[in-house]
Amino acid sequence: MREFMLPDLGEGLEEAEIVTWYVNEGDRVVIDQPLVAVETDKAVVEIPSPSSGRIVHLFGAKGDIVKVGAPLVEFAEGVEQDTGTIVGELASGEHPPAAATPSRRASGREPQVFPAVRALARKLDVALELVEGTGPGGTITRADVERAAQGMLHTDPAEPLRGLRRAMAQRMTAAHAEIVPATVTDEADIDDWRQDEDVTIRLVRAIAAACKAAPALNAWYNSGTRERRLIARVDLGIAVDTDGGLIVPVLRNVGQRGVSDLRAGLDRLRADAIARSIPPEELRGATITLSNFGMIGGRFANLVIVPPQTAIVGAGRISQRVVAHQGQPAVRRALPLSLTFDHRVVTGGEAARFLVALKSDLERIS
C-alpha cells in the first residue's frame, strides 16, 4: 500500500480542514482527478490525485483537521505516480506522526478532581478545564461542577473553531505576540463630496497617495532577521466580512489603476471571497491593509496588523458632526480614520505624515 500525504499548500500553512471528499474507498481514479476539497485559512482548495489507481482507504471525514504531511489517501500497490502533479509525496512504508491533540488546559495543568466528581462532570456534560476549583488546593468539588452546569443551561454547546475562524484565532494570537502596535486617529471632512461618491475607491486611492508620502508604512518587516523591506507598489489587502469569518483578498497595484478598473477588481474580489472561491494567490502578498468597518458601524479602532505588514488603515462610519468651518460652526459629514502601525519599525512621525496625506487626499474635491 502507498499513502498520499496532505501536501504543503504554501504560505507556511500547517493544516487544513476536510470540506468534502469527491471519491470513495474502492474507487479507481486517474492522475489529476479531484480527490478532496480542504479549507485553509486562505480559501477552499481542491487537491487532485497524484496517481492513477485504486483507493484503498480515505483518512479523515468532513470537518476533520489534517496536518500537512499526514496521510490523506491510501492507494493499492502498483499505482502510476506523477511527481509533478502537486507538491505532495507518495511514501511507501512511511507513517508520519498523528496530529497532536490539543491539551486540556491552555496552561497545561490538569484540574485536581476526584473520580466521582469527574463522573458527575461527564454526566452533566461539563468541561472540567473550564471549572474553577474552590476546594483545598484548587480541587474541583461536586458543588463546583453543579454550579458550572447551572450556568451552562442558557448557553449553546461548545464547538471547536474551524476554517476561517480557527485560522483567524491563530493569526491574531501570533500578531499579538509579535507586533508592537500604536494607533493614531483623525477625521476627514468629506462634506464636499458628490452624493454618489464611491467611498471605498476614494479610500483605496488615498492610501496609495499616503504610501508615497510615507513609504515606511508600505513595507514588510522580518522580525527574525530584523530586516525591513520598503515596497514601491501598493498591493492593498481589503478586509471582507463573511459568514465564515474574516478574509483579506489583495487588490494589486492600486496606485496605477483607474477608478473603473479598481471598482471592477473590488467587486470581483468581494464576490469570490464571499463564495470562498478566491484563488490562493489573490490572498497573498498584501503590503498594507484597509478595514472599512464603518460600513457596519463604529468610529475608531485599534486594529490588528498581520505580519510582515507594518500598517493597517481603518475607516469608521460616516456621520454628520458640528465642526469649525471657515471660522464658523457648521454641520459637516466626517469620515473617521484610524491608523495602526508597528512601532518597532515605523516612527510616530512617519505615521502622522501618512495620516495627514491620507486625510488631505480624501478631502480633495474630485
Integer Cα distance of 31 and 84 in angstroms: 10
Second CATH level (architecture) for the domain 2-91: Beta Barrel (2.40)
Q: Which three cell numbers stand for residue 271?
A: 464576490
In one-letter notation, the amino acid at residue 227 is: E
Q: Which three cell numbers stand for residue 248?
A: 483579506
Q: Which uninterrupted H or E stretch holds 16? A: strand 15-21
Q: Comparing 2-91 with 102-160, is the CATH topology the same?
A: no
What pLDDT sits at residue 95? 35
**Residue with the larger pLDDT of the pair 162 and 307:** 307
Most confident of 82-86, 177-181, 200-204, 245-249: 200-204
Whether pTM exceeds 0.75: no
Position 80 pLDDT exceeds 90: no
Integer Cα distance of 272 and 43 in angstroms: 10
Position 85 pLDDT exceeds 70: no
Task: Domain ranges for the chain, please list them.
Answer: 2-91, 102-160, 164-362
Sign of CA dihedral 46, 51, 54, 57: negative
What pLDDT sits at residue 256? 96
Q: Which uninterrupted H or E stretch holds 241? A: strand 240-242
Residues 240/247, Cβ–Cβ less than 8 Å: yes
What pLDDT sits at residue 83? 41
The string of DSSP letters for 52-86 reads EEEEEEE---TT-EEETTSEEEEEPTT-EE-TTSS
By percentage, how much of the chain surpasses pLDDT 70?
88
CATH topology for 102-160 is Dihydrolipoamide Transferase (4.10.320)
Backbone angles phi, psi at 36, to 5 degrees: -155, 150
**Residue with the larger pLDDT of the pair 165 and 84:** 165
Residue-averaged pLDDT of the chain:
85
CATH number of 164-362: 3.30.559.10
Q: Which three cell numbers stand for residue 311?
A: 500598517
